């Protein structure tokens, strides 16, 4: 039953984001987030990150972020680094990445592991974050479900 609920939640997130896919997007820059050490609980987790956005014109901005996972998330992980290509309809203004993003997530670590999160959101769901580098993490962890990234 839990697998069915998780699958339905992922499908709902993807259908809700469908309008964002319909818009033409260009690469606006790269978002790199580091942090996330912690313990995953059976039904989810919430971890914090320090992020840096670098635009194609080399403008740099700092953000703080948190990722909340809903679904199976069991284990302990050390600090990890995630790198996303930021796709948007146009260049992103200063502070323009602030907002909430959602999408499917999958992570596994036994000693050293990885994971990926494709997320949509931001200003009127027009920004897509696509993994460039699979998340590097160490620890013992298994996580599958829906993730929400909140950037401040």
pLDDT tens sequence across 140-150:
555 556 688 89
Pairing of β 127-151 and β 26-35: unpaired
What residue ranges do the domains of the chain occupy? 2-151
152 residues of the chain, pLDDT tens digit each: 443 344 334 434 444 444 444 458 899 999 999 988 776 666 777 889 999 999 999 999 999 999 887 776 666 667 778 889 999 998 899 999 999 999 877 655 555 555 556 788 987 789 999 887 555 555 555 555 668 889 99
pTM: 0.71
Element holding 132 (H helix, E strand) = strand 127-151
- Which residues fall within 8 angstroms of residue 114, CB to CB, at 6 or more apart? 107, 108, 134, 135, 136, 137
């Amino acid at each position: 039953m839990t697998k069915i609920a998780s699958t339905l939640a992922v499908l709902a997130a993807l259908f809700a984001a469908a309008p964002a896919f319909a818009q033409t997007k260009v690469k606006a820059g790269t978002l790199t987030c580091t942090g996330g050490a912690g313990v995953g609980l059976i039904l989810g987790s919430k971890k914090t990150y320090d992020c840096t956005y670098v635009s194609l014109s080399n403008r740099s901005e700092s953000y703080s972020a948190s990722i909340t996972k809903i679904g199976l998330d069991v284990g302990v992980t050390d600090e990890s680094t995630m790198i996303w290509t930021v796709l948007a309809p146009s260049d992103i203004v200063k502070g323009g990445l602030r907002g909430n993003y959602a999408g499917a997530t999958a992570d596994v670590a036994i000693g050293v592991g990885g994971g990926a999160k494709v997320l949509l959101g931001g200003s009127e769901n027009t920004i897509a974050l696509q993994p460039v580098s699979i998340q590097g993490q160490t620890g013992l962890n298994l996580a599958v479900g829906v993730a929400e990234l909140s950037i401040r």
